[in-house]
């Protein structure tokens, strides 16, 4: 388990984003953030159990982490018994001293330095090598952290990318002019960016279109027609989702960096041709035998 320690008035939103990214990559059960404790659970016991079970404890250090003070006394909260960040530090350092196989990793938000000195039982914490973390709001902020966690034997639940066939030359990607020409010609299509952790920058760029039919049978027949007449011919495959009478299609080429290629254009053109035939009444009725 990965335990995230933080101060709420220092880095709450950042930690929520980080937890979401790590859960999407490693699985929900592998990441603990106290904001997601189940209703009715005993908060202190749940936190302590997670802290003692964690294989990695991340300490998120933002601009207020070190200098946060107690409202009543004005003393630094890190010096006060009962401060939860202090308690989490004490448990982490105690586990390290006892030989537990736990990794302690300070994460530094932008423009924040690692504390040079902490008092008494926390004195060894500044000795741990910290990792700077960007805070741009993009998924790639956490790429280096994910790589480090993989080195510590956490296993990604994200399926590896599917490679398109590589016989012969790779498909040619579309440039800006090609994309503009495609959109001008194919009025119902658009170009979208969707999340993909394995893609450069964390996004795949795709040609996108939604088709709507009278019923499920028509939608299913359309998919069969596209498969037989286009996909099998050019050996290129869509990412598509059929929900009753609605079919949504995304087209990209995985092995050129999740970018649309001219193979995607050919597949889109094939879809449009079959759709136009349907609109013109040129489809055979799937329930009527041929020749009747």
Instruction: Please provide the DSSP assignment of 166-203 as one string.
Output: -SSSPPPBP-HHHHHHHHHH-TT-EEEEEE-TTSGGGE
Give tens-digit pLDDT for 208-262. 999 999 999 999 999 999 999 999 998 899 999 999 889 999 999 988 888 999 9
Question: Can you tell me the mean pLDDT for 178-195?
Answer: 93
The phi, psi pair for 253, rounded to 5°, reads -115, 115
Which domains, ranges and CATH numbers included, belong to the chain? Answer: 2-151 (3.40.50.10140), 176-279 (3.30.1360.20)
Q: pTM for this one? A: 0.57
22 closest CA partner among 132, 156, 152: 156
Which residues are CB-neighbours of 123 under 8 A, at least 6 positions away? 117
User: What does the DSSP assignment read for 22-68?
Assistant: HHHHH-GGGEE-GGGPPTTS-HHHHHHHHHHH-SEEEEEE-TTTTT-
- Reported as half-sphere exposure (CB side, CA atoms, 13 A), residue 67 has a value of 5
Give tens-digit pLDDT for 60-107. 999 989 888 877 787 888 888 888 999 999 999 999 999 888 999 999
- Reported as half-sphere exposure (CB side, CA atoms, 13 A), residue 221 has a value of 17
The phi, psi pair for 194, rounded to 5°, reads -125, 155
């Amino acid at each position: 388990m990965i335990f995230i320690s933080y101060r709420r008035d220092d880095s709450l939103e950042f930690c929520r984003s980080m937890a979401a990214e790590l859960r999407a990559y490693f699985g929900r059960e592998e990441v603990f953030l106290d904001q997601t404790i189940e209703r009715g659970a005993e908060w202190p016991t749940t936190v302590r159990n997670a802290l003692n079970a964690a294989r990695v404890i991340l300490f998120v250090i933002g601009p207020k982490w070190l200098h946060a003070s107690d409202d009543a006394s004005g003393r630094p909260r890190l010096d006060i018994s009962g401060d939860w960040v202090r308690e989490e530090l004490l448990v982490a350092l105690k586990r390290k001293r006892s030989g537990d196989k736990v990794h302690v990793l300070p994460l530094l938000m932008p423009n924040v330095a690692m504390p040079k000195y902490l008092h008494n039982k926390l004195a060894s914490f500044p000795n741990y090598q910290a990792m700077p973390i960007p805070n741009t709001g993009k998924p790639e902020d956490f790429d280096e952290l994910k790589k480090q966690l993989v080195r510590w034997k956490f296993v990604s639940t994200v399926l590896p990318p599917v490679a398109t066939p590589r016989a012969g030359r790779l498909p040619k990607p579309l440039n800006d002019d090609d994309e503009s020409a495609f959109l001008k010609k194919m009025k119902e299509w658009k170009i979208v960016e969707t999340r993909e952790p394995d893609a450069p920058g964390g996004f795949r760029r795709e040609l996108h279109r939604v088709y709507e039919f009278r019923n499920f049978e028509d939608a299913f027949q359309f998919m069969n027609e596209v498969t037989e007449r286009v996909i099998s011919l050019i050996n290129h495959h869509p990412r598509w989702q059929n929900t009753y009478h609605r079919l949504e299609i995304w087209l990209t080429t995985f092995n050129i960096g999740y970018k649309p290629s001219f193979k995607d254009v050919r597949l889109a053109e094939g879809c449009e041709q079959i759709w136009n035939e349907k609109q013109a009444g040129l489809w055979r009725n799937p329930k009527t035998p041929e020749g009747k």
